[in-house]
Amino acid sequence: MARLARASEFARVREEGRSVHGRLMLIGVLETGTCGATRTGIVTSRRLGGAVVRNRVRRRLREIVRLSRPMLREGLWLVVVAKPGAAKVASRALAAEWAQLAGKARIFRP
């Protein structure tokens, strides 16, 4: 999976992109205008819990994004920010909210 790694990339998505908010996560979207692969970054803050909890949430979100990768448009930078409730719900609930917010953000191919 192509990932966002630099703090400057996350900051650019926050400043120049748009975002959609849900109960469990926030998705920031920046259309780069290039035809490259969609790059994704995942943010899990300490408000979620300890390192084990944060890593578990990060792995679950990464898998959800990976499975929906064929449906994503190209040339996007995505930042997924997990909210504290994300650590307490099942993966199915995370996937459902991801699908709802991704549809709202219009990041899926037509």
Q: How many domains does the chain have?
A: 1
Q: Which domain holds residue 56?
A: 7-104
pLDDT tens profile 2-13: 899 999 999 999
CATH no. for residue 36?
Answer: 3.30.230.10
Could you tell me the CA-to-CA distances from 31 to 36, 40, 76, 94 in Å, in that order?
Answer: 11, 12, 5, 24
Euclidean distance between CA atoms 5 and 12, whole angstroms: 12
pLDDT, position 36: 80
Does residue 109 lie within any of the structural domains? no
| Single pTM value for the model | 0.92
Q: What is the mean pLDDT of residues 64-92?
A: 95
pLDDT tens profile 20-54: 999 999 999 999 877 788 999 999 999 999 999 99
